[in-house]
Structure 1
């Protein structure tokens, strides 16, 4: 797999759930592009690159599934009570997911530029 295998549809006129999902999908594509093609030495890991990439792609699949559950049904204003220490709306949970992914994408962007000079925000 590579970044082009990630489901992605440009969203210019969607509702807030579709727009937030577009933003997360875009961040996932950026991360996949920035981290793609690195070998074991560049990744400095004990696992084969293919194992790490497979793990990451399966994780974004779970994100998309969770996202679908959060935007379905009664709306993004619905309060989630699944964790007593973190009561928030679905909208806030989606923003938290997006923020976490943005942080990782920024980190891999800095690393990738140092490894081989790859720069830019979106895959070609």
Structure 2
């Protein structure tokens, strides 16, 4: 994987051809993360703020959004924990796209670090959940057993879908920034 966005540790960007369900789900998620790291990597503030008209999306906004998504899926949906900072201090009713809209004021290093850290936290929590019950492990809230949360399988498929969607956006925006094109990161 091209590590321009500084993901945590080396990652094999190819899912296993003959893996079990857990390895396949995690492998496809890692490929999407690797593609996203490649499409957003190595850019300055101006490049991270580039828009591809008519959309208002930016690569910086996508970095921040996917950091939030990583945290929300792994902590709230899987473990039933409260939303992490800085997400827990946002008035989401006032600005439901705060993560996408507020990135323009953030330094690139902060955006990359926030995303890398969220990915690292998610990897740890997903691996623990796999060991606890595999893809069928249900999310849960210890203090609220009456609330049903989705399975790890559902969460991972939701993450793969969200990354794939935003990788398409990142592909168009990055091409507009510097002409970088391609489907998968080199290596």
Q: Secondary structure of the residue that 2:149 maps to in structure 1?
A: strand
Relative distance call for 1:73 and 1:92 in structure 2 (3 A) is same
TM-score in terms of structure 2 length: 0.58
Aligned to 1:25: 30
- Structure 2 residue aligned with 1:90, among 146, 149, 152? 152
Contact 1:8 1:22 in 2 (8 A): no
Flag the structure with higher strand content. 1
Superposed displacement of residue 42, structure 1? 1.3
Which aligned runs of 4 or more in structure 1 are off by greater than 4 angstroms?
A: 3-6
Uncovered stretches (5+) of structure 2, i.e. residues with no partner: 50-103
| Structure 1 residue 7 corresponds to structure 2 residue 69 | no
Contact 1:30 1:123 in 2 (8 A): yes
Uncovered stretches (5+) of structure 1, i.e. residues with no partner: none
Superposed displacement of residue 120, structure 1? 0.6
Aligned pair count?
A: 123
Q: Deviations over 1:1-55 (max 9, x none)?
A: 6257543234222211111111111111100110112111111222221111111
Q: Distance in 2 between the 1:24 and 1:73 partners?
A: 19
TM-score in terms of structure 1 length: 0.83
